[in-house]
Amino acid sequence: MNDEEPLLTIGQLADRTQVSVRSIRRWSDTGVIAPVRRSPGGYRLYGPDAVARLGLVRTLRELGLGLEEVRRVLRRETAVADVAARHIAAVDARISALRLNRAVLSVVARRGTTPEETALVNELARLSADERRAAVEGYMREVSDGLRGASGLGDRLGRAPLTLPDDPSAEQVEAWLELAELIRDPDHRARTRRLLERCAPGSTGGALWFTLHVVHAVAEAREGGAEPGGPRAADLLARLFRDADRADVLADLRAGLAADAPRLRRLLSLVRGRRPGPDHGEEYAWLERALEAELRPAPARPAP
């Protein structure tokens, strides 16, 4: 430092750097920004190089470095790049935690949940990967154990396990929360088991829930203006289901809707990071009305 260069008071240093006097004083007390000397009145005086040094300190602090790490960087005991590399993982963890918090808050705000429900949502959001897997596997066992042909469900789950990535999106977390609540519901489990019982080989049902070709055919008929109780609907049902008992087909459809099969399928896609297809709610409603119309007894002919 040139002896002719004026020294700066703590107030002047604060003005030049836009750092508060309180922060400069705290960093001085910890040895990060040391004054050159004190004035006769005991005030701290800083050299002009303190401006650049203080700018570096502020940058490192804004990036999340602790004061001890800042001191080591300033003393050339460690490289900034090394410290930055160590902090990337910590920053990533904080970002992930913030995303999780945001997802929980979004669910709570949207539903207007009670404090007890909020606690449950938060608990479900923070389950570990092993705990999530155990929850899904427990659900699959309960709804399928002992059913003929249902063992394939466990096999499919093993080939495509339901896991959240290390850095899930808010949409994935929200879908997981909705799914976790759904599969914990005893009523939903019971309805899903009834659906699988109907779909098991040798049962009265047998539609392994309504396949896409059925949904697409119904959508085409709807868009073409076919009425559920009209002749075009009857022709479509004959083509799709042939000689299958229409009462059984209707029971299969209602069992799937009662078990929230479309919703479950959508949530599974979202958790896995895939774009879910349309929910086909209008197609299912049209098909239900068409089956009801076909099963409705024909009106009696008036007596001659």
| Unique residue bearing structure tokens 């040391």 | 34
Closest CA to 156 of 268, 260, 267, 254: 268
Phi and psi angles of residue 43, each rounded to the nearest 5 degrees, phi first: -85, 145
pLDDT of residue 220: 93
- Show the tokens assigned to 175: 């879908």
Residue 209 · residue 252 · CB < 8 Å = yes
Helix count (H) and strand count (E) of the chain? 15, 3
Distance CA 121, CA 173 (A): 11
With a cut of 50, which residues of the chain have pLDDT below it?
1, 151, 154, 157-158, 205-206, 208
Amino acid type, 277: G
- Polymer length of the chain: 304
Distance CA 13, CA 20 (A): 9
Rounded to 10 deg, the angle between the 129-144 and 186-199 helix axes is: 50
Fold of 8-74: Multidrug-efflux Transporter Regulator; Chain: A; Domain 2 (1.10.1660)
pLDDT of residue 298: 62
Encode 149-187: b = buried (16+ Cβ within 10 Å), e = exposed: ebeeeeeebeeeebebeeebebebbbbbbbbbebbeeee
pLDDT of residue 233: 93
- Show the tokens assigned to 229: 């109780």
> In 10 A of CB 227, how many CB atoms?
14
Q: Which sequence spans correspond to the domains of the chain?
A: 8-74, 96-192, 199-295
Radius of gyration from C-alpha coordinates of the chain: 33
The burial class, CB within 10 Å (0-12 / 13-18 / 19+), for 122 is middle
Closest CA to 217 of 248, 238, 245, 243: 238
Closest CA to 51 of 19, 4, 5, 3: 19
pTM above 0.85, yes or no: no
Residue 209 · residue 256 · CB < 8 Å = yes
Distance CA 237, CA 246 (A): 9
8: β partners: 46
pLDDT of residue 200: 64
pLDDT of residue 156: 53
Which residues have CB under 8 Å from 48's CB, separation 6+?
Answer: 1, 5, 6, 8
Q: Residue 282: in which H helix or E strand, if any?
A: helix 281-295
